[in-house]
Chain A
Amino acid sequence: MSPQRGFGPPPGGMPPGMEKPRRKMGIGKFTDIVYLLPENITFYKTKGGLIGAKTKDYDGRANLFRIFPLNLENKYISVRDKDLTELGIIEDMEIFPQEQIELMNDELNKRYFIPKITKVIEAKEEFGNYFWNVETTAGERKFSMRDLANNVIHKKNGAIVLVDVDGSRYEMEDVYKTAGKALKFLDIWL
């Protein structure tokens, strides 16, 4: 776009979850990457049902972000405090005890809520809108998509993520097996 069309940042802004003033992202004290290991961080469930973290210097609510949410879901987890200042990065969740992994996954799966489509009941194109009625791992769902070019995201493992008009996401692991009627309009984006 030419610079004369508008000023300042694009309407999209910061990634979701990171733009709230109350949880303002702090400026890290160090530019070094702090990798967190099981011996220097422990996660627990807070009384309010959220995830908390305890380190040498911090004990309170934690916010977890996937640094590579599409392709390295269980690696490179950015752990942040209640104000979203980064406490450190977990390079690989697998090195943590099972009960800690479950706590982390529980929180991450809420932040990155992407149910998997198990069956396409109905899928049709109507004037550039794509209407879907699907069964997912979270239950039955109807949604609409537009502009498949920008809303079909490819994962490296061959799965695709569909983003609907509201921004909700749905994953299809084996497209050719699951998509059914939707392949009619989906195949060009595969």
Chain B
Amino acid sequence: MNLNYALPQREDLLVRGLLCGEEILYCLPYDLNERGSYVDGYFIITKTRIILLCNGEIASEYKIKAGEDYLAEDLVSSGRIEGVFGGEVCVLAYYTMEHVPRYAYAQRILNELAVGEMPKIESIDDEKKCPKCGRAYLKRTKICPHCLSKISAFGKIAMVVKPSWYLYVIILVLFWCNSGVMLYQPLVNRYIVDRAILPMSSGTMPLSLPILVFYIALIAACNLAVSLIGVGRQYVTTEASSRLARDLKNMVYSKVQELSISYLDEQKTGNLMNRISRDTQRVQNFIQNIASQAVNEIFLLLGVLIALFLYNWKMAALAVLPIPLVVVFCGGVHDRMHKMYRNQWVKMDKLNSFLNDILNGIRVVKAFGQEERAIGQFQDDAESVRRLTTKTEHFYATLIPAIRFLMTLGSLMITFYGASLVLKERLSVGELLQFSTYASYLYGRLEWFSMLPRWMSEAANAIERIFEVLDHEPEITDEKNAVDADIKGNISMVNVTFGYKTYQPVVKNLSVDINHGEMIGLVGHSGAGKSTVINLLMRLYDADEGDIFIDGINIRNLSQASFKSQIGVVLQETFLFSGTILENIRYAKPEATIDEVIRAAKIANAHDFIVSFPNGYDTRVGERGQRLSGGERQRIAIARAVLTDPKILILDEATASVDTETEQLIQEALKRLIKGRTTIAIAHRLSTLKNADRIMVMDHGKLAEFGTHEALMQNEGIYYTLVMAQKKMSAIKAL
């Protein structure tokens, strides 16, 4: 992100004159004044001064050291930077949300300069907008939609079908054959009419019976050939399109697995599911039924046009007369069709996401007696899908007859002109029949092509949505030289700063060393940054500043697969997959033996209750493990963590949602589990951290205290206050 904009020439001269050689360290734009109007301003920072330029004039100047406590305050839809001058808070500048991240840096810069330090602050954030045209980049990309060299959606699909190219060549050959046979048939019909049915009118010799039989057999052979080619074509296109659908499904699914948590957090599950299943199905249908047919139709259309013009160019000209009208008409409605289908899809997506939400949370809906409301909401959404679908279909239903009508005009003209030639005996009836058949082929193709915008719109939307996922770059990727390493579990965090929005750090300048085998308790008020520390340690996110080392190796240089296979996690809300208990325990290590599974279950205090189930380890846990109690699910999760023999263990409120008796069982299990492993445990109930070697106390993203329980109690800081508060609460509860 640019923190040092170049000033326009005039302003540059003006400022240089004022600065007398002093260097501009940072120069940020600001675009609002205190009256709430947009302005063209610059916020210039030198070593000693702040200079504000507004609409080409110097607006104000401040001495940095005269102020203190500089703050970039986010308002709801704008921001302001202020400082305390002579004990009074003064606003220096207002800006829109576009510049909020820049002024978060400016705050740090000014506070460092105010205390006489020389800031070395550089932004690691990317610009969100194209420097050429100012438009926003496409989400999570550096692609400007305006400046993009436009690769069509169908071009992208061509890349995916490449491995099965030979199947498409076979399809093409079959289509050529099909078109050839179809074009030949009217010629045979003409011979039969002119020579057998109406020989006198055409002035030709009547056919002998064997020749007639030959022609009839020829028609039968043509029909048979068309049918056989059709069967062959269907086989090959089905094979090709199902391969394509499989590849697309695999690509989207793999991409979803690769994408970072931050992207997945923004997506609705139903929406992603649609892309993997429904959109890929739609593309398959398009390739199987439409795209292949389109090739056939194009060949036939060209063949028919050539045949018509070779035969009688005047009649051919009449036949093609409606084509420009149809093309203009279809072109005109294409955009509207595209929009209507996209809107329909958006509403369908909303409906599916809602359904997904409600079905996942059905227990909450029922517990609060909100069934009626859920039904009402669903009905509203379903109604709006119905409205849009009806609107689209009505439009479509009007479009097709209109096109048909346009094409009948051409047909009428051919009939009139052809019949007049027959009457003048300049054309035989057979020839007119042959010509009319070709013309009907032509109109059939045109009608088919008139429907193409609808099919293409549907498929293009599906393809766009699939590639929206495929084109995303995961934020956390393996470095080129990433290594697989067997880790011991020494953790070192050096000056780590991180924010979900980089300009709002949640963890600030955190430095801590943890030895392997140590158990560390992580405590602090909610929002203090505990979970974020764990997210960073698990490399669900990368730190914005600073580094995390595992056994001296930078976490970024460890391959994710290898690193994550050596981490075990037990969360407050345990997620079990639909399947048996055995499958769930084996989840992270599918090759584990039965012995290993039982031993893990025993360590987790789970073996006894599992055995008591009628189906033992083969008990199905239900979706998300709903058939088990919270404590049971938790212990299975512990067994799952034990099985991988993790070197680093993360416990996030592992016993927060269970009763005291179960908690004891789980605590016992955890005690066995953490032995010899580096353990980081978040707990609100501080008594659960009695086994911790050291306690990390987080406060507003910073490491406030770090030491043993005894040392921290003696210190009488935040930890002491938390412990005393909980003791008081326990005493009250005991009453």
A interface, CB within 8 angstroms of B = 1-17, 19-24, 46-50, 61, 69, 109-115, 126-129, 131, 136, 138-142, 144, 146-147, 149, 164-169, 184-185, 188
Contact = CB atoms under 8 A, between A and B. Distances in A.
Given A3-B571, A127-B138, A128-B138, 11 more contacts: A5-B264, A7-B652, A17-B76, A19-B74, A20-B74, A22-B71, A110-B36, A127-B148, A128-B468, A139-B38, A166-B96
Which secondary structure dominates where chain A touches chain B?
loop
B265 A17 contact: no
A50 B350 contact: no
A22 B69 contact: yes
21 contacts: A7-B652, A8-B531, A8-B535, A9-B527, A11-B500, A17-B75, A23-B73, A24-B700, A49-B90, A50-B89, A112-B75, A115-B36, A128-B138, A129-B135, A129-B145, A138-B38, A140-B38, A144-B136, A147-B139, A166-B128, A168-B98
Contacts of B504: 13, 19
Given A129-B138, A129-B145, A2 B531 contact: no
A188 B347 CA distance: 9
B535 A1 contact: no
A146 B265 contact: no
Interface residues of B, number: 69
A7 B77 contact: no
A171 to B, nearest CB: 10
B148 A188 contact: no
A6 B652 CA distance: 11
B648 to A, nearest CB: 15
Contacts of B143: 127
A46 B91 CA distance: 11
Interface of B: 32, 34, 36-39, 69, 71, 73-78, 80, 82, 85, 88-91, 94, 96-98, 100, 128-129, 134-136, 138-139, 143, 145-146, 148, 261-262, 264-265, 269, 339, 343, 346-347, 350, 388, 464, 468, 500-501, 504, 506, 527, 530-532, 534-535, 540, 569, 571-575, 652, 700
B146 A126 contact: yes
A74 to B, nearest CB: 16
B580 to A, nearest CB: 19
Contacts of A19: 74, 504
B139 A146 contact: yes
Contacts of A126: 135, 145-146
B76 A113 contact: yes
A188 B388 CA distance: 9
Nearest to A139: B38
Contacts of A15: 76
A127 B145 contact: yes
A110 B468 contact: no
A175 to B, nearest CB: 16
A149 B350 contact: yes
B719 to A, nearest CB: 19
Nearest to A185: B339
Given A5-B265, A50-B89, A112-B76, A168 B97 contact: yes
Contact of B346 (A9, A46, A188): A188
